[in-house]
Homo-oligomer: A and B are copies of this chain.
Amino acid sequence: MEQRISLAHGEGGELTHQLIQKVFVQSFGHSKQTQLDSAIFTLPGQTIAVTTDSFVIKPLFFPGGDIGKLSIAGTVNDLAVSGAMPWAITAGFIIEEGFPLQDLKKIAQSMAAEAEKAGVNIIAGDTKVVEKGSADGLFINTTGIGLLQERRKLKPEKNKEGDAVIISGTVGDHGISILSARQELGLMTEVESDCASLTPMIQELMNFVDGIRIMRDPTRGGLATALVELCEDFNFTIEVEEASVPIRNDVKGACDILGFDPLYLANEGKVVVIVDSSHEQIVLDIMKEHSYGKNARVIGHVTSSDDLIGKLLLKTPIGTTRRLQRLSGMLLPRIC
């Protein structure tokens, strides 16, 4: 492992994984006990889920959202995919000296609006300011608390061969949106980020579908990294049909030009659901009722070929199969 922190350590891929394993897990003494996106524990009489996320996205404002909306949606979605009802959120601001107050107000209002949409209260906050040049505009940390109800628990251990892997919509929108907003790469398309709180849709799924094994929001590191982590955490193999993965034409075009693989681009308003195949249709039906789920699709299945346990396989349109790894190295720093 490198002895200095590189930007790639923040990309949500292999190096982030190593950093967490080698530094934080070692120091804090966790291991793999927390396999969901939130820490979950039981109070006498009530089980709650807790998750924390810092947002360092650049630029702060982008088509489809801003850092404020993102900081609520991102944390709320982490709770929701853990099977918890988002309930309360805290917000910590690190602000660079000279930051325009107008922008801060806009961002705070955008947080408030998104929190209302997601049904959470912002219950505590903190503000720090650092000298000009010691931060880049604004960073926000949000920590979310959600309520987990017994009947809503996900059942990852019940996964079996043939389980359907469903994505709620097109992949890579957020990544390309941020890239185009940065105007660094001469992209002409303006792609809107998918940034959104998925609580209403996910709550409906939890209420009406019994056979959900597990959910994950494919943010930093993209769909491929999220699925690799699921395969490793729960020791099953997934085969994804490349041709089935929904990708917008403008996102595909931008990826072709820039040499990015959309499977590794960040999403901020998508969920992957692994579900008993007998329930795949009701999952699709519920997703399609929501604007952010209208392009939902089955993209693959859990397989059980013994020597491939814990691996993510991609079946290409020409019929070959290759193994995908988690994102390695640097793709897009400060995507969230």
Contacts and interface: CB of A to CB of B under 8 A. Distances in A.
Nearest to A53: B126
A133 interface: yes
Interface stretch (A105-113, A185-193, A204-212, A257-265): A105-113
A278 interface: no
Interface in A317-336: 333-334
A7 interface: yes
B123 A41 contact: yes
Contact of A50 (B44, B94, B123): B123
A221 to B, nearest CB: 13
Interface stretch (A22-30, A161-169, A239-247, A287-295): A22-30
A43 B111 CA distance: 24
A1 B39 contact: no
Contacts of A48: 43
Contacts of A53: 92, 126
A197 to B, nearest CB: 16
A93 interface: yes
B95 A141 contact: no
A5 B112 contact: no
Given A28-B122, A112-B27, A19 B52 contact: no
Interface in A78-130: 88, 90-102, 104-105, 108-109, 111-112, 115, 122-130
B95 A5 contact: yes
Contact of A88 (B39, B90, B108, B136): B39
Given A5-B104, A44-B46, A136-B135, A10 B95 contact: yes
Given A108-B24, A108-B28, A135-B136, A9 B39 contact: no
A38 interface: yes
A23 B100 contact: no
A236 interface: no
Contacts of A124: 34, 38-39, 50-52, 143
A3 B102 contact: yes
Nearest to A25: B125
A117 to B, nearest CB: 14
A139 interface: yes
Given A41-B123, A44-B45, A53-B92, 18 more contacts: A5-B96, A5-B99, A20-B125, A20-B127, A24-B91, A26-B108, A27-B105, A28-B122, A30-B122, A41-B88, A52-B125, A56-B94, A94-B94, A94-B139, A128-B334, A134-B334, A135-B136, A135-B139
21 contacts: A4-B101, A5-B98, A5-B104, A7-B131, A23-B101, A24-B125, A28-B111, A28-B112, A28-B125, A43-B147, A44-B46, A45-B45, A50-B90, A52-B90, A52-B124, A52-B125, A52-B126, A130-B139, A134-B334, A141-B143, A143-B143
